[in-house]
Chains A and B, each alone.
Chain A
């Protein structure tokens, strides 16, 4: 079974702090993703990466950055946390199958971040 793990289930930080959210997958997937999920807004893509050191902005990248130094690990960084970044953060990974089908994404359990 594919396993995607996230470093914390719950995290509480203060405004202005630098926050690191870590995600690790064990299936040698090329693609990794960071989403945030808020009530009534569904999941929104923040950033994704299709290879080591490669990244692309998603729909809401403002206030976030990412790092992918190793294939299995994808980090989301909040340079200066703000209260409007309080949310559930979900990491996902997928295997790049090609151009025919859409790739199945495998999600981690999520990190509920509260910024005070």
Chain B
């Protein structure tokens, strides 16, 4: 499985755009990049998944360059409720089990 590296923590203020970058140098051809979010005292929840270029949904955008060796989760105009841990996962298509690292702890200040 591809190893991922992401910042341990980040701080931001309400209303700012937050970009969390994940490195995955040994990503394989059939790997997908997936992000989960975990609020305190809750289980993780799926945010977004992509293979290449850009994916956008109502929660976030995911930018993946052509070489796919990194990806960036973009959260537009964060609020206090976006304070959470964000996990970057690189998983082969069709694989059932996921491997979570330690994630990035995002703290949004007023």
Residues of A within 8 A of B (CB): 4, 31, 33, 35, 40-45, 48, 50, 56, 58-59, 90-92, 94, 96, 98-110
Q: Quick check: which of B12-20, B36-44, B67-75 contacts chain A, the rest being far away? A: B36-44
Q: Establish whether residues B87 and A94, one from each chain, have CB atoms under 8 Å apart when the complex forms.
A: no
In order of increasing CB-CB distance, the 10 nearest A-B pairs are A107-B43, A99-B94, A43-B100, A102-B91, A104-B46, A42-B102, A42-B100, A90-B43, A42-B101, A102-B32
Tell whether B45 is near chain A: CB-to-CB under 8 Å. yes
Specify the chain B residue showing the minimal Cβ separation from A47.
Answer: B97
Q: Establish whether residues B94 and A45, one from each chain, have CB atoms under 8 Å apart when the complex forms.
A: no
Tell whether B49 is near chain A: CB-to-CB under 8 Å. yes
Q: Establish whether residues A101 and B43, one from each chain, have CB atoms under 8 Å apart when the complex forms.
A: no
Across-interface contacts of A109 in B (CB, < 8 A): 41-43
B interface, by DSSP: helix, strand, loop or mixed? loop
Tell whether B99 is near chain A: CB-to-CB under 8 Å. yes
Across-interface contacts of A100 in B (CB, < 8 A): 93-94
Closest CB in chain B relative to A88 CB, distance in Å: 9
Q: How far is the CA of A99 from the CA of B91 in the complex (A)?
A: 12
Q: Establish whether residues B43 and A33, one from each chain, have CB atoms under 8 Å apart when the complex forms.
A: no
Among B69-110, those with CB < 8 Å from A are 87, 89, 91-103
Q: How far is the CA of A33 from the CA of B93 in the complex (A)?
A: 18
Across-interface contacts of A96 in B (CB, < 8 A): 96
Q: How far is the CA of A59 from the CA of B101 in the complex (A)?
A: 13
Across-interface contacts of A33 in B (CB, < 8 A): 97-98
Q: Establish whether residues A92 and B94, one from each chain, have CB atoms under 8 Å apart when the complex forms.
A: no
